[in-house]
């Protein structure tokens, strides 16, 4: 049985966090800041394995020059510090 938080299961939250970051990563819009805010504000609800996966994907994108502009990278780095 999956634990529910505010009407949404942990596995659904995991999918939302992963898919949202994957969609946003590399886009040059406000979304990088929004995602950094959401993840920072909801840190307690992120499964440890999801956070590890997100950090790896973000670091890989930054290393490959695929994480957006410098202002986007600043926001993604906030997640790497979680």
pLDDT in tens, 36-55: 999 999 999 999 999 999 99
pLDDT of residue 61: 98
CA dihedral 70, 40, 63, 10 (to 10 degrees): -140
User: Average pLDDT for residues 70-76, to the nearest whole number?
Assistant: 96
HSE (side-chain half, CA atoms, 13 Å) at 72: 19
Question: pTM, whole model, 2 decimals?
Answer: 0.89
Count the neighbouring beta carbons within 10 Å of the beta carbon of residue 66: 10
């Amino acid at each position: 049985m999956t634990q529910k938080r505010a009407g949404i299961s942990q596995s659904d939250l995991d999918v939302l966090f992963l898919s949202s970051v994957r969609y946003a990563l590399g886009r040059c819009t406000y979304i990088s800041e929004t995602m950094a805010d959401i993840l920072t504000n909801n840190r307690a609800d992120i499964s440890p394995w999801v956070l590890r996966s997100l950090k790896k994907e973000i670091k890989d994108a930054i290393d490959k020059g695929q994480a957006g502009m410098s202002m986007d990278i600043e926001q993604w780095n906030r997640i790497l510090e979680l």
